[in-house]
Chain A
Amino acid sequence: MAPNSGLVVQTEQLSKIFRVGFWGKRVTAVDGVSLEVRPGEVFGFLGPNGAGKTTTLKILMGLIYPTSGRARLFGRDLGDPQTKARLGFLPESPYFYDYLTSREFLAFYGHLFGLGGSVLGKRIDELLELVGMTHAKDLQLRKFSKGMLQRVGVAQALINDPELVVLDEPMSGLDPIGRKEVRDLILRLKESGKTVLFSSHILHDAEVLCDRVAMILKGRLVACGRVTDLLEQGASHPVELVVDRLSPEGLDHLRPLTDKVVMQGDRMLVVLKSQQQVGGALEIIRAAKASLVSLTPQKGSLEDLFIREVEEHRSPTEKRA
């Protein structure tokens, strides 16, 4: 793999096999994952629970060693202390030193980056302000709610003003308001020119936030690209028509273009396979002198794509079940 210093994250055929249990049974957690994250983008790493998202992120953070394949951050191999100084990491459902207060907690992490004195004090105040925790700065972390822990967790990830921010399931376990705040924060990070890589199994969040996404299933990458491209590709976008008083002959003409027809007295709901069929359908409706009540294009979502991928990747035995 040619090191590309223009990329923030670059992995090639990254794999991790864990040995579990007494007999060391081999379990493949990550299987040949190759992906790239470019500077300044928000990249979503999506997949169901247990798909290998966290394992991949842990490899990138130097917590786990890959079995094979390579990964680089900022064009440098993993484990280079210089790269660690340029990233911030928030683990999934983080636990912290709960006997520390917010200030002590952030000061401790600041010291690990060699920060100190008034510079660090100022930075801590800014961060507590940013995550809305100024009121709890002298409270011990063991008295915090999950949402509050997540916030100081974010502050901890930003203490060194990192270029790359990696968040593992930042929205999980938060209430709707908390999730919105995390979303806003990610957008603010993007505005200030940072690269954000986050994992999630909540696809709606990803659709709203991400420039590009990668989908992982059973350790394998099944889709990767711009959100808009992924939504276009392969997915046929159905269009729903509601028509009044369509003659039986007209309906016969319409049938080949449709997936589904639902009759309700004089009114019928016709689902067209894709937008290409709209012109033809309208011709038929006009010729049959029926009236069109509504025409609604159905927007594809990452969720549709995701469910389709899950179906495709099921093993035959699972399908039978």
Chain B
Amino acid sequence: MKILSIGLNTFRENLRDKLLYNLLIFALLMISSSVILSRLTLGEFHRLILDLGLGSINFFGVLIAIFVGIGLVSKEIEKKTIYTIVSKPVARYQFLLGKYVGLTITLFVNTVVMALGLLVVLYAQDVPVEGMLFKALTLIFVEFMVITAVALLFSTFTSATLSAIFTLALYVIGHLTADLKTFGAKMDDLSRGILDGIYYLLPNLERFNLKGHVVHHLEVSGADLMLIVAYGATYTAVLLFTASLIFHRRDFR
């Protein structure tokens, strides 16, 4: 109940934030610009629209997750609004989860809006819509949830700016972890062990990327999809648990 109250308040806060609309407008512009770009290609325009559309949704969603996400907690501490919340009968983890729920709702609404934008473009250009597209969108949303949790974790112990840099860095690394494993395979046992450790520790965000599947009409089974969603959910839960632990011990001064 308290988590939901804080979540809905956060959602309302986001809705009245201009940053959100700017990002959303840019995303929709990017998605529709794929129509113009596709004119420049020969025959491949279905692919280009899908690739650019899904890429835009992913990119702008991650920007929202990071730039709204880092502000969730650090802004509350900097503006001291948290003083009045923590002195009420609200446990600190409830506050943290409430903030997370709020941004998740925001991201969900945004993803739906961007996806509708893409569907309109696809419909207008007579591109056939396959089920794979919705699987890809689902995983994009799961990725947002992981990124938001990362941003939230960083913002429980560092400033908004550093959280943004760390989260952005982790997002980039998260898409390249497969290289770590490949790289490790060529090293000696110790180095391979370390690199493997880092590989398993960092989120493997490439798992959530089904753009290639959509564009090239490859299938992903329901079971595989569930497994990837479960991976994202577990990773998110661990991040939120760690964030709660750090947040619980923290002094607000």
Give A contacts to B, CB under 8 Å. 18, 55, 58, 61-65, 81-82, 84-85, 87, 89-91, 94-97, 99-100, 104, 108-109, 111-114, 153, 156-157, 160
Beta-carbon contact of A85 and B89 below 8 Å = yes
Q: Which of A82, A85, A90, A108 has the most CB of B within 10 A?
A: A108
Beta-carbon contact of A91 and B12 below 8 Å = no
Q: Is B84's CB within 8 Å of the partner chain A? A: yes
Q: Which 6 A-B pairs have the closest CB atoms?
A: A111-B5, A99-B16, A89-B87, A61-B87, A84-B89, A91-B83
Q: Chain B contacts of A61 at CB under 8 A?
A: 83, 86-87
Beta-carbon contact of A63 and B252 below 8 Å = yes
Residue in B closest to A90 when the chains form the complex, CB atoms: B84
Q: Mark B69-104, 1 if CB is under 8 A from A, else 0.
A: 000000000011111111111110000000000000
Q: Chain A contacts of B253 at CB under 8 A?
A: 18, 55, 58, 63-64
Q: Which of B1, B84, B86, B89 has the most CB of A within 10 A?
A: B84
Task: Given A63-B251, A91-B80, verify A99-B12 contact (CB < 8 Å).
Answer: yes
Given A58-B253, A63-B83, 5 more contacts at CB 8 Å?
A: A63-B86, A87-B87, A104-B12, A109-B88, A157-B84
Nearest CB of chain A from residue B230's CB, rounded to whole Å:
33
A112 to B80, CA, bound (A): 17
A-B contact pairs, 22 of them (CB 8 A): A55-B253, A58-B253, A61-B86, A61-B87, A62-B86, A64-B252, A65-B251, A84-B88, A90-B84, A91-B83, A91-B84, A94-B80, A95-B79, A97-B13, A97-B81, A99-B13, A100-B9, A111-B1, A112-B5, A112-B89, A113-B88, A114-B2
Q: How many A-B residue pairs have CB under 8 A?
A: 79
Q: Which of B1, B9, B87 has the most CB of A within 10 A?
A: B87
A94 to B79, CA, bound (A): 8
Q: Chain A contacts of B5 at CB under 8 A?
A: 108, 111-112
Number of B interface residues at 8 Å Cβ cutoff, please give it.
26
Interface residues of B in 203-253 (CB under 8 A from A): 249, 251-253
Partner of A112, one of B13, B17, B83, B90: B90
Q: Mark B8-30, 1 if CB is under 8 A from A, else 0.
A: 01001100110000000000000
Nearest CB of chain B from residue A186's CB, rounded to whole Å:
19
Nearest CB of chain B from residue A42's CB, rounded to whole Å:
20
Residue in A closest to B15 when the chains form the complex, CB atoms: A99
Give B contacts to A, CB under 8 Å. 1-2, 5-6, 9, 12-13, 16-17, 79-91, 249, 251-253
Q: Chain A contacts of B91 at CB under 8 A?
A: 81
A53 to B6, CA, bound (A): 29
Nearest CB of chain B from residue A142's CB, rounded to whole Å:
10
Q: Chain B contacts of A113 at CB under 8 A?
A: 88-89
A156 to B81, CA, bound (A): 12
Residue in B closest to A60 when the chains form the complex, CB atoms: B87
Q: Chain A contacts of B79 at CB under 8 A?
A: 95
A65 to B1, CA, bound (A): 27
Q: Chain B contacts of A62 at CB under 8 A?
A: 86-87
A87 to B89, CA, bound (A): 9
Nearest CB of chain A from residue B12's CB, rounded to whole Å:
7
Beta-carbon contact of B84 and A111 below 8 Å = no
Q: Chain A contacts of B2 at CB under 8 A?
A: 111-112, 114
Nearest CB of chain A from residue B96's CB, rounded to whole Å:
14
A95 to B84, CA, bound (A): 10
A81 to B89, CA, bound (A): 5
Nearest CB of chain B from residue A311's CB, rounded to whole Å:
29
Residue in B closest to A59 when the chains form the complex, CB atoms: B251
Task: Given A55-B253, A64-B253, A114-B1, verify A89-B89 contact (CB < 8 Å).
Answer: no
Beta-carbon contact of A84 and B12 below 8 Å = no
A156 to B88, CA, bound (A): 10
A176 to B130, CA, bound (A): 69
